[in-house]
Amino acid sequence: MRRFNFAVLCAAVMLCAGHAAAQELSGTLKKIKETGVITLGHRESSIPFSYLDDKQQPVGYALDLCMKVVDAVKAELKMPALKVALQPVTSSNRIPLLQNGTIDLECGSTTNSVQRQEQVSFGPTYFVINITAAVKKSSSIQSILDLNGKPVSTTSGTTSVAEIKKLEKLKGVDFKEIYGKDHAESFLLMAEDRAAAFIMDDILLAGQIANARNPGDYRILPEILRTEPYSMMLRKGDAPFKALVDHAIGAVMKSGEIDKIYAKWFTSPIPPKGINLNFPVTPVIRDAFKNPNDKGV
């Protein structure tokens, strides 16, 4: 009987310990549990990653992946009715808004760089881009060096800014930079001839061109300034939430579900105009799906 009582007591202690451990949340998960809300940061013109559709609703590839994290949070916290709040962010304020707790996860077109890793953490790479430039076909520009002495646009707060500065220093060229607050504004600067080119990530250039009034007026230069991985951002030093994000996105990649989500946004008609970007999975993106990682550049 004593042995039986001891076994029952041990089981009870273990049950209580497990219950207590489950309650000992920290960081982002604790914040979400206490508020009943998870806030996703989204972009307004990062086509097709995170942007507004014709109903002004946030949609995109990155948002679809972030919702997989939301599903994992609901399961982890046993909160099926968890509220999802959507907060617009820009290239300039996305990191501060993440750090100060305004958003819990940033879902956009953010480069995972070693420099940014000093301030924030990243989930697994879900896209890989090349920084280049878009120009008008009617221009005489054949290479990025042809932009020497000309005004070029780029988006404030992006890694393209640093690449422009680096090129100026290494090649001795002189760009006259004009900064847009978002990719739509930066593209418009070039479209209205206030800039000779829009320097940005190739897929974002393709998205802007596809949704332009006359897509056939523009082309993307073949030169590559730098190759960079995209991923979702989360607060630095939050190991439990980072583990949840990594597991949730890693599972989507390992199961092959990522192929359906990718096809939905990159090789199928997308809102608001039903245009197909025709951007199939590249070998380097396929490798990122097969081997989920959060390596920065």
Q: Is the pLDDT of residue 20 over 60?
A: no
Take residue 232 and report the two structure tokens written for it.
Answer: 């979702």
**What is the pLDDT averaged over residues 130-145?**
95
Percentage of the chain modeled with pLDDT above 90:
87
Alpha-carbon distances of 262 from 53, 89, 141, 186, 289, rounded to whole Å: 18, 23, 32, 26, 11
DSSP 280: P
Give the class (CATH, top level) of 26-126+231-290.
alpha beta
**What is the pLDDT averaged over residues 162-177?**
90
Total-model pTM: 0.84
Q: Is the peptide bond before 269 cis (omega within 30 degrees of 0)?
A: no
Alpha-carbon distances of 88 from 93, 96, 105, 112, 231, rounded to whole Å: 10, 13, 12, 20, 17
Main-chain phi, psi angles of 12, to 5 degrees? -65, -40
Name the band, by pLDDT with cuts 50, 70 and 90, for residue 23.
Answer: low
Q: Does domain 129-228 fall into CATH 3.40.190.10? A: yes
Whole-number Å distance between alpha carbons of 27 and 10: 31
Main-chain phi, psi angles of 283, to 5 degrees? -55, -40
230-283: pLDDT as tens digits: 999 999 999 999 999 999 999 999 999 999 999 999 999 999 999 999 899 999
Take residue 100 and report the two structure tokens written for it.
Answer: 């100060």
How many Cβ atoms are within 10 Å of 42's Cβ, its own excluded? 26
The ranges of the chain annotated as CATH 3.40.190.10 are 26-126+231-290, 129-228
Q: Are 50 and 85 in contact (CB under 8 A)?
A: no
Q: Is the pLDDT of residue 102 over 60?
A: yes
188-208: pLDDT as tens digits: 999 999 999 999 999 999 999
Q: What is the pLDDT of residue 169?
A: 87
48-82: pLDDT as tens digits: 999 999 999 999 999 999 999 999 999 999 999 99
Q: Is the pLDDT of residue 21 over 90?
A: no
**What is the pLDDT averaged over residues 125-149?**
95
**What is the pLDDT averaged over residues 8-24?**
47
Q: What is the mean pLDDT of the chain?
A: 92
**What is the pLDDT averaged over residues 101-118?**
97
SS3 annotation, 56-113: CCEECHHHHHHHHHHHHHHHHHCCCCCEEEEEECCCCCHHHHHHCCCCCEEECCCECC
Least confident of 12-16, 153-157, 247-251, 286-290: 12-16
Q: What is the pLDDT of residue 1?
A: 46
Q: Which residues contact 107 (CB under 8 A, 6 or more apart)?
A: 40, 41, 42, 49, 50, 60, 62, 63, 65, 66, 232
Whole-number Å distance between alpha carbons of 81 and 238: 24
Q: Is the pLDDT of residue 9 over 80?
A: no
Q: Is the pLDDT of residue 15 over 80?
A: no
Whole-number Å distance between alpha carbons of 162 and 114: 13
